[in-house]
Amino acid sequence: MLRQATYFLALIIVLLAIFVAVERTSSPFFQGCINNQQNANANSAAKDEPSSYGTILASYVACSGRFIEGHGVGITALATFIIAAFTGTLWLATSQQAQLTREAFIADKRAFVFAKGLLSFYEPGNAGQFNWRLAPVWENSGDTPTRGMQIYTDCLLSNSRMPATFDFTYTDPASPPGPGLLGPKMPGTGGQAPHFPSAAITPQDILDIQGNRKFLYLWGWARYSDILPNTPRRITRFCWQIFVAGDPLAFNPSVDPQSIRFSNVHQARGNCADDECVLQGLG
């Protein structure tokens, strides 16, 4: 708003300078008026008393008034144009301010969903041992609830690291994305991976992960809308490499349920939200 006002003030000064230059150099009417004023002042002043700046300024003001009076139609048209320009500038500034206010309101109130943590779930395995499945913790940090939310979780257990071209758009036909709802400031658990009825992560898998013979990744996404009008569909993605601490062969939840600890490290690709995902080709 201040910038537009500054531009308008500069425009007024430029137009005023052009007006003075035009009437001074291009108007015979104005030039004749100035000459008559100067002659009248010279005849009425003492011969040894030079013309003062005040007298010269008074002559310019008087002749400018007569010039405006004699060219009223054109000057009125010019004034109308200036008023229209000011009105347009004011409308543009008001529209921009309204858009900025709306964007700030949306950014402050919209639902924003992100993956904030990792949960692990054990289940009985062979020979008294336990297998594991993992799930993300989602949270809506916004002041409004989600609408039409769909979430998906998957994992990759491989003998090699996740390739740079990994297809994050893949979904398991046997375990498709599911519905969800997150209220304001509300956390929620995502789906578990590996998916049922596939085999869970075994103690031997964990030993191989600890020995860098296997690599485990958990990834997924949440698509949702917010309740604000005319806002786009949102998406947040996550991709973590999973590390495990503790002895999976000795795990006994009755003795120490925290003796196996899973941690996660964000990967360079697959962690994004909204426009960032578009830039990664994962919108």
**What is the DSSP code string of 68-114?**
HHHTHHHHHHHHHHHHHHHHHHHHHHHHHHHHHHHHHHHHHHS--EE
Distance CA 239, CA 170 (A): 13
Q: Are 235 and 223 in contact (CB under 8 A)?
A: yes
183-195 tens-digit pLDDT: 999 999 999 999 9
Nearest-CA neighbor of 223 among 153, 118, 162? 153
pLDDT for res 71: 61
Average pLDDT, rounded, for the chain: 83
78-132 tens-digit pLDDT: 667 667 666 766 556 555 665 555 556 556 789 999 999 999 999 999 999 999 9
**Which DSSP letter does residue 52 get?**
P
Q: Are 262 and 242 in contact (CB under 8 A)?
A: yes
Q: Minimum mean pLDDT among 68-72, 212-216, 276-280: which range?
A: 68-72
pLDDT for res 70: 61
pLDDT for res 10: 72
Q: Is the pLDDT of residue 75 over 60?
A: yes
Q: In b/e form, how buried is each residue of 9-34, taking b as 16+ CB within 10 angstroms? A: eeeeeeeeeeeeeebeeebeebeebb
Q: Minimum mean pLDDT among 59-68, 166-175, 266-275: which range?
A: 59-68
18-51 tens-digit pLDDT: 666 665 665 666 566 766 665 665 555 545 455 5
Query: Six-digit token pair at 60?
Result: 């310019």
Q: Are 174 and 195 in contact (CB under 8 A)?
A: yes
pLDDT for res 86: 62
pLDDT for res 176: 96
Q: Is 197 exposed, middle or buried (0-12, 13-18, 19+ CB in 10 A)?
A: exposed
For residue 238, the SS3 value is strand
pLDDT for res 212: 97
- What is the mean pLDDT of the segment spanning 135-140? 98
Q: Given pLDDT bands bounded at 50, 70 and 90, which one contains residue 208?
A: very high
Percent of the chain with pLDDT over 90: 60
